[in-house]
Amino acid sequence: MSTPITPLHEEDPREQEELEASATESSFGDILNEFEQSHAQELQQASKSQENKSQDGKTIAATVVTVSDGRVFFDVGQKTEGVLDATLLRDEKGIIEVKAGDTVRVQMNGRDDEGYFKLSVIQVERPKDWSGLQKAFDEKLTISGVVTGVVKGGLSVDVGMRAFMPASRSGARDVPEMSTLVGQEISCRVIKLDTEKEDIVVDRRAVLEEERAKAREGRFSALETGAVVEGTVRSLLDYGAFVDIGGIDGMLHVADISWGRVNKPADVLTVGQKLNVLLLKVDVAKKRVSLGLKQLQPDPWSTAAEKYSVGQRLNGTVARTTDFGAFVELEPGLDGLIHLSEMSWSKKVRKPSDMVKPGELVEVVVLGVSVADKRISLGLKQTMGDPWEEVAAQYPVGAVVEGPITQLKQFGAFVQVTPDVEGMIHVGDIVHEKRINHPKDELQVGQVVKAQVLECDREKRRLRLGMKQLLPTAMDEYIEAHKEGDVVTGRISDVKGNRVNVDLGDGVHAHFSIAEPESKKETNAAPVADIGAISNLLAARWKGTGSGGGAAVDAAPRREVPKTGQVRSFKITKLDVEKKRLDVELVG
C-alpha cells in the first residue's frame, strides 16, 4: 500500500489553520497595543484640555520671573509659566513698571503655540449682581466682561449678567474682526440698564478711545526734541507729509524734506515709506510734532567756503527767476544769485527772463561767497568776456560809430554801438545852433544814427558820443566859400574894449582888435626929441601962415572909432578850419 503524494501546489489544511490562528493572534495584539496607546493619548489630551478649561478665566496673583524680548514671564503655580506682552505693563513714558519678584494680578486665558499660559492684566472687576451694575451705570465705571458670541447686530457679553454690545460700539471694523473677540475678556462701560426688562447695553469703543488717548498722551510726554525716531509716511499733501511715529502723526514740512528744492512731497516720498526723522519741535499742549528729514544730512553750506572761491567758473541749473535776478542751483540745497546787473554787459536787459529760463543749464563765475549769510553772488556776463577791453582800442576819441537808438531819456539818447556796449549822446550834442528840451524832439527809438566818439572811459565804462559834431555848420560852409584876403561886409555886433565882434551873417562871427591911440599910451621913459620932425613941423606951419593963412595939414589921416550896429567892410586875415575861427581887420 503506497502513501499518497500531496501535490506541491496544494496546502495542508491543518498547517493553514495553524498559520491563520497565529496571524490572528499577532494582529489582535498589535491592535490592542495601538488602542491602548491612543486611549492613553486621548486621556492625556482630555486631561490637558480639562486642565486648560479649568484655568481659563481664572484670576490669580502671579509672580514675575523674568522680562525678555518684550515679554514678561510669570510663575502661575503650574508646571508651565505664563506669558504677558510687556507693552501692557509700560508706564506713560514707555518704561516697564515691573521687575523680577513683583506680584501682578492677572487672568489666565488658555495656552499659546509655545505651551505657555496666556495672561491678561485685570484692571477692573466684573459686577456680581444688579447693584454692581447699577453702580457702574450711574458712575460710568469701566467694568470687565467676556464676549460669549456674535448675535444679530452685535455681540453677546457676560458682565455678570447677559448684556448686548452693538456692533458700532464694539471697536471692531467688520464682522470677521468682531468674531475674533469671542471668548476674550474685554473692558466696557454700561450705557443702558433696565433692571425690570433685564436689558443691559455695553460700550467697548468708548473705553478703547480713552485708552488710546491716554496712551497717546503718554507717548507725547515721552517725545523729546532732538531725538531721532522711526516713522511711516501716512499721507502726502502739497505742503508736507504726515508721518506716523508710533500712534502719533508728525508733520514733515516740504521745506524740511531735503536741502535741495522739493516742489511737492510726492516727488520724493511715497505713502507707506519708512523714514528716520528728527523731532524738531514737540508741543504737548497743542498735540503737535514737527519733524525734519534733511536735518539728518550734512548742510551743504557747512563746506561752501572750501568748495567755492571768487573767480571760479561753475555750471548750474536755473532754479527760479525774480525781478532782481535769477537763482542758480549749484548743488542740492545751495543756490547762488545772478543779479540783474551781472547778466549782461549791455544795459538793455530789463528782466532776468530775457537772459535765462528756469531749468536751463548755465555757466557762471563766482563773484562772492558769504557763508554766514548763506549767500553766493554769481556773474553770467563774466563768462562772455569783457567787451570794454576792445572798445578803447576800437573806438578812440574822434572815431565815428553807427547804431540804433535803444532808449531816450530827458538828458540824452542811448545808441547800441556793439551787442554789449551802449554809448550816450547828451541832449546838447544832438543838433547845432538850437536848444531842444528832449531828445524825442529830434530822435526816436530804433532810428539808426551816426555819431562821433567824444569820450571813451574804460574804468567808468562810459562812451560819450556826439551827433552834431558830424554835421556841417554855417561857419564850416562860410570858411569853405572864402579865403584869406577876401574883403567882406559885416555888422559890428559888440565892442568890448579893444575887441570888436563882427556878424558876417547866418550865424558866422569874426573878430578883430582896435589899435590903442598914441595919445593914450603911457610911458615912464623921457621923450626923445626928433629934431628933423620938429623942423619940418615948424616949416610947414611957417609956410602956411606966410602964404596967406591956408589950412593946416595933418601928418596922418584920422579913422572913425567902430561902433555897435555899424555896417563896415572887413578883410579876412585868418581862417582856422579845425578851430572854426575867423579873424578880420577893418578896411572901410
Q: Which residues pair with 450 in a beta bridge?
A: 402
Which grid coordinates are listed for 235? 499721507
For residues 168 and 508, give the distance between their C-alpha atoms in angstroms, rounded to a whole number: 112
Highest mean pLDDT among 57-61, 124-128, 444-448: 444-448
pLDDT tens readout for residues 508-565:
888 888 766 555 445 444 444 455 555 555 455 444 444 344 444 444 445 567 888 8
> Does residue 580 have a pLDDT over 70?
yes
For residues 190 and 200, give the distance between their C-alpha atoms in angstroms, rounded to a whole number: 7
Distances (CA, A) of 463 to 442, 450, 452, 456: 21, 14, 10, 5
Please tell me what DSSP assigns to residue 368. Answer: E
Residue 556: partners with Cβ closer than 8 Å, 6 or more residues away: none
pLDDT tens readout for residues 203-220:
999 988 887 777 777 777
82-114 core/surface letters (b: 16 or more CB in 10 A; e: else): bbbebeebbeeeeeeebeeeeebebbbbebeee
φ, ψ of residue 91 in degrees (nearest 5):
-85, -170
pLDDT recorded at residue 361: 93
Give the ranges where 185-238 is alpha helix by DSSP (H). 205-222
Specify the pairing of strand 421-426 against strand 462-466. parallel
Specify the pairing of strand 59-68 against strand 71-75. antiparallel
pLDDT tens readout for residues 272-330:
999 999 999 988 878 889 999 998 988 888 888 888 999 899 999 998 999 899 999 99
Mean pLDDT of 497-509: 81
pTM of the model as a whole: 0.44
pLDDT tens readout for residues 23-55:
444 454 554 465 455 545 544 554 454 455 455
pLDDT recorded at residue 404: 94
Domains, the chain, with CATH or none: 59-121 (2.40.50.140), 130-211 (2.40.50.140), 223-296 (2.40.50.140), 300-384 (2.40.50.140), 388-471 (2.40.50.140), 475-515+560-588 (2.40.50.140)
